Amino acid sequence: MASQAEIANLALSFLGAGTIVNLTDNNTRAQVLNAEYASIRDAELRKHTWRFSVKRASLPALVETPVSGPYGTMFELPVDCIKVLMVGDGWPGVDISDYRTAPTTDDYSVEGDKILTNLPAPLAMKYVYRVVDTGLYDASFTIAFAAMLAWKCCERITQSTEKRQLAQREYDDAISAAVRANAIEKVPEYPADDSWILARMQ
């Protein structure tokens, strides 16, 4: 599996630039890549639900409770949480919210580093976590991450619009390959309800 330096060098190869030994090297290429590496990694992990980045947790309730609003219990998000995928043990069912006559409340709300909910403790959750160990990366993610790193850093390293476009194509190809390989998890989507649903329920 690719190391941090190998991912950085893959990004540099997309730009036709010279390689580095480490992200801490004393040259412009390494300094630019090192400055962007962590933020771009986290953004890419958040952008798509990569299967290798999915994790589950069981959270204890906090002693502190919400100061206001419809929720009675608070839970602290795991420190490595990048995106919440599911809270509780099930997916939402049929919803005809466009026909409700009073305000409704979701099962939970993510506010800052807390989950507010009325669900009982311990609270089950599924989330995308900050994967620092490059040995866990899917091959398509490694290419996509390196291509986005190249795209973001291209101006400061090469000043080449053509190289930037090449990096964008490499990124798009990597995401397409990941979808075909089922490396990206498809989260269920629930379309908005309309009058047809109400008519069928009468």
Q: Provide the pLDDT for residue 90.
A: 58
Mean pLDDT, consecutive 10-residue segments, the chain of 202 residues? 94 96 96 97 96 96 92 96 88 48 67 95 96 96 96 94 93 93 70 50 55
Q: Provide the pLDDT for residue 200.
A: 55
C-beta separation of 63 from 73 below 8 A: no
What is this structure's pTM? 0.83
What digits encode the pLDDT tens for the residues 169-190?
999 999 999 999 888 986 554 4
Q: Provide the pLDDT for residue 146.
A: 97
DSSP letters for 122-138 = SEEEEEEE----GGG--
Q: Provide the pLDDT for residue 190.
A: 46
Paired strand residues for 109: 116
Q: Provide the pLDDT for residue 202.
A: 56
Q: Provide the pLDDT for residue 102.
A: 42
Report residue 141 as tokens: 């993610």
Nearest C-alpha neighbor of 109 from the set 71, 82, 60: 71
Euclidean distance between CA atoms 175 and 161, whole angstroms: 21
Euclidean distance between CA atoms 118 and 91, whole angstroms: 16
Angle at 22 between CA 20 and CA 23, to 5 degrees: 95
Euclidean distance between CA atoms 19 and 38, whole angstroms: 19
Euclidean distance between CA atoms 97 and 194, whole angstroms: 9
Q: Provide the pLDDT for residue 189.
A: 47
Compute the radius of gyration of the chain from its Cα atoms: 22
Compute the 3-state secondary structure of the chain and give helix, strand, coil in percent, each to the nearest 5: 45, 15, 40
